[in-house]
Structure formats: C-alpha cells, structure tokens
Amino acid sequence: MIRKLLTVLFLALVMQTSFAQDFEPTDYFSKDFHAQRREALRKIMPDSSVMVVFAYPTRTFSNDVDYLYHQNPDLYYFSGYKEPDAVLFIFKESQKDDKGNAYKELFFVQKRSPQQESWTGRRLGVEGVKEKLGIPMVFNGNDFKDYAINLAKFKNIIYSMPPSMAPSKTESPLLAGLVNSFVKKANISLDNLSDVSTARRLYNKLTGQLREIKTPEELVMLRKAVEISCHAHSEVMKAANTNMSELEIQGIQEFVHKKYGAEEVGYGSIVGAGENGCILHYETNTKTKVGNSLVLMDVGAEYHGYSADVTRTIPANGKFTESEKQIYQIVYDAQEAAFKTLKDGSTFSAASNAANEVISEGLLKLGIIKDKKDYRKYYTHGLSHHIGLDVHDRSSSGTLLANMVITIEPGIYIPANSDCDKKWWSIGVRIEDDVLITKDGYENLSIFAPRSIADIEKKMAGKSAFNDLVLPSLKSGK
C-alpha cells in the first residue's frame, strides 16, 4: 500500500513539471492563431448566440485498445486542444459569471490524472490549457453539470453533435456526459430533428465560411503537407518495380511522410495496381505483386492536422504502353484545361466543364465511347474539393476565392469487361494536384511530384535508397 502511494506521489510530481520536452515539434500554431480564429467566428455569429464545439469521441480498435485519437478539426481550429472529452463554448457577446467576471469563452476539458497519464500520455488539464492555449475560463469536464449557466436564454444555440455517442464504456462516456448536460442546460431535444438540423446547418455555414479561406499560418502547414506527399510519390517512382506489392508501395509512401515529421495520412492510402486502380476508394492494398501494370497511388500526408491529397499514376516497370499513354494524356490534358479556368471569382463548375469536355472528346476519339454523353461511364467522380483540416474540407460557397486550396483530380477508369476494345481494360488513371487559388490564377502546390508522361518516366529511371534495402527472409509460416 505504501509502495503504491509513493508511486502515485512520484507520478504526480513528474506530471507537475513543465510540458516542454526535448525535440518536440516547434511549429505548431501559436495560441494567438486560435484566439484570432475565435474572434473571426464571433464577428460572423448572429446576435445573442453561442457556438458549442465538442471534442470527437474515442474509438475502440480492439478490446481495450483505442484507435489513435483524432480531434474534431473545429475544436482544434478554435482552441489548439488535441485531447478527448471536452466542450468549448464561444459566445457572441461578453458574459459574466456569478462573481461579475467577464468572459467570452468557456472550456471544459479532461481532468489531470497522474495514474492515467502514465498509461495514455500527458494531459494539459485546466492550468495547462490556460497557460499553453491562452483560454482563461477553463474547468474540469466533470464540473460542467453543476456549472451555473442558462444556455436557453440565447436566441441561437449553434452546435453539431459529435458522432457515435452511445454512452458505453468503449465509446467516450465522459463526452456523453458533457452532451447530456448540454442538452439539459440548453433545454433542447435531440429528438427534434428540425431544430437539430437547423443548428447544424448554421454551424457548418459559419465554420465553412472561415475554414474555406486559408490564413497565412494555415498555408504554411498545407504547403508542408503537400510537399511531403510529393516527395513520397517521387520516391516511389524511383523505387518501383514489378515485384513490389501494393502494401510495399504504401509503406514507402508513409515512411517518407514520417521521415519528414507528418504524424498521419490524411485518409486511407489508396494503392491500386491494374484492375484495382479502377476502384475509386480501394484501400485494402493486398495485391502481392503489381506486375507490368499501372499503379494508381492516391496518398496524402497529414501534417499538424492539415491534409494533402495527391494522386499519381505510374507504370510499375517504368514505361507506359501506348494504350496507357493515350488514356493518361487525356487525363493530363483535362487537368490542364481545368487549371486554365482557375482564379479568384471563378467556379467549380467552370473547371469541371473544361475537364469534362476534354475527357468526353478524348474517349470518343479513341472509340471507347460512341457518344460524348457516355463519358461518365469511365469518369464517375467530381473534379474538385477543398482541402485543409479535413481532406474534404468544409466550405460555404461554390465560388472560388483567393486563398482557397482545392484539388483538381480528373480520372478515367476502364474496368475489365467494359464495352470497349480489350486493350483498354484494367487501365485506371487519376492525376490529382492541390492548388492555391490566387487573385489572377492559381499556384500548383504539388508541383514537386512529376505528372507528365516524360517526367514520370525520367524520374522512374532514377535510383532510390529503397532499392538497396534487403530484409531477412521469413522462416515462419512455411
């Protein structure tokens, strides 16, 4: 018993020391950035309103093991907080507590616990949030149920419920408690779908209006995420050979991400060889040998919460066949046509129409379709979306404005047994680049990864450090 007590006291002492750690990243957003985002939100909120932003729940991976936690991007955007079991209130007008102290935000966060932190990592706690994130009115999450505040007095309670909120022991019961307390204090009913959807629409409109226009600080993060992704694609081009598996290619991509400090991928990595490249969101990546086929790689790094979205399609053996070249060139030309429409004030539809015309005309000319309107048989997705804190980032309008960052990603996918000559079967090509909209045009942020036929083949003739990697043969399982 004494030993256990001493252990707890020791852990408590350790946890009271500074959060500064040797060799931690130094390029996170400052607390001023998040404060500016909250202030920008306040300016567009309606009068007598409060925005309620919940942390995302934890998710069980297996039994008592959770998936790596990923914060609600909105909560990260407005606070910098990366832990679960929290709720942030942002008020349009200044409020006063029962002691007469004025405040514009309330933040309820998970409590410090030396014993838990020894298992799952350090927590900021109340004092850490005040010091590191610069939010003065911070309380332990357990205190919210007894906190004296009349949310029902506001004309507009703007909120979006966190996903998967079944209050079981494996699905964030502490967060469920925060949600239940909020519902009672706000005097709302989650069964009233009309009110819930109205609140969510306003929540999405306001957050989308802010997040679709990137600040200079955000552009630094996005540029880094995109460049890292491009170097990963380029490394695979040099390393690729016909004996590689899809998983091996995925591994090289994600190793390069980690080497540059990108914490995660922005979405499940897609590496599809041959017929698998015709599956738009193919993520199993189980083909053990890519062979003499095209390999479609839709892989993007996530750096400090910001996600790239880059796709390149390469011939595993280093050389495109004539059929592959013809399909690839149509996609390339469609992307170039879309690029030419981009500038401040242009539209998604203008870019899409330009790409659609090139693809439909190209497929018709090759005899793959007999009528231009049939191009959608082989190009089945949209051309573009915003990127940022989500790989399909939130937005509020269809007009392109300066400092938006979007993808341009035309593609052609011809599965086996399609109604065309067999020489086109199992060819899947997508080229995806991340572009910054500027006043007079655009900047291709993903220019670091080759995209033309000639440049890809030239890059693939180079040598990669991975070419010399030799691992022991496995002895088990024979």
Q: Determine the Cα–Cα distance for residues 411 and 470; give it in Å rounded to an integer.
A: 35
Give the active site residue among 385, 390, 443, 457: 385
Per-residue buried b or exposed e for 385-399, using 16+ beta carbons within 10 Å of the residue's own CB: bbbbbbbebbbeeee
Give the active site residue among 67, 376, 381, 455: 381
Give the active site residue among 333, 392, 443, 457: 392
User: Is 32 one of the annotated active-site residues of the chain?
Assistant: no
User: Is 64 one of the annotated active-site residues of the chain?
Assistant: yes
Do the Cβ atoms of 451 and 430 come closer than 8 Å? no
Give the active site residue among 298, 302, 393, 433: 298
Q: Which pair of tokens denotes residue 275?
A: 């017929």
User: Is 231 one of the annotated active-site residues of the chain?
Assistant: no
User: Is 103 one of the annotated active-site residues of the chain?
Assistant: no
Give the active site residue among 275, 393, 409, 433: 409
User: Is 413 one of the annotated active-site residues of the chain?
Assistant: yes
User: Is 218 one of the annotated active-site residues of the chain?
Assistant: no
User: Is 281 one of the annotated active-site residues of the chain?
Assistant: yes
Give the active site residue among 67, 97, 281, 421: 281
User: Is 42 one of the annotated active-site residues of the chain?
Assistant: no
Q: Determine the Cα–Cα distance for residues 87 and 70; give it in Å rounded to an integer.
A: 15
Give me the residues paired with residue 436 across strands: 405, 443
SS3 217: helix
Q: Determine the Cα–Cα distance for residues 19 and 83; give it in Å rounded to an integer.
A: 15
User: Is 22 one of the annotated active-site residues of the chain?
Assistant: no
Q: Which pair of tokens denotes residue 199?
A: 């609140």
User: Is 344 one of the annotated active-site residues of the chain?
Assistant: no
Residues contacting residue 342 through CB under 8 Å, at least 6 positions apart:
351, 400, 408, 435, 437, 441, 442
SS3 92: strand
CA distances from 122 to 119, 293, 423 (A): 9, 47, 57
Give the active site residue among 393, 430, 433, 442: 430
Give the active site residue among 74, 309, 324, 434: 309
SS3 224: helix
Closest alpha carbon to 308 in 379, 220, 388? 388
Give the active site residue among 64, 371, 440, 468: 64
User: Is 381 one of the annotated active-site residues of the chain?
Assistant: yes
Give the active site residue among 223, 413, 433, 442: 413
Which positions are catalytic? 64, 281, 298, 309, 381, 385, 392, 409, 413, 430, 432
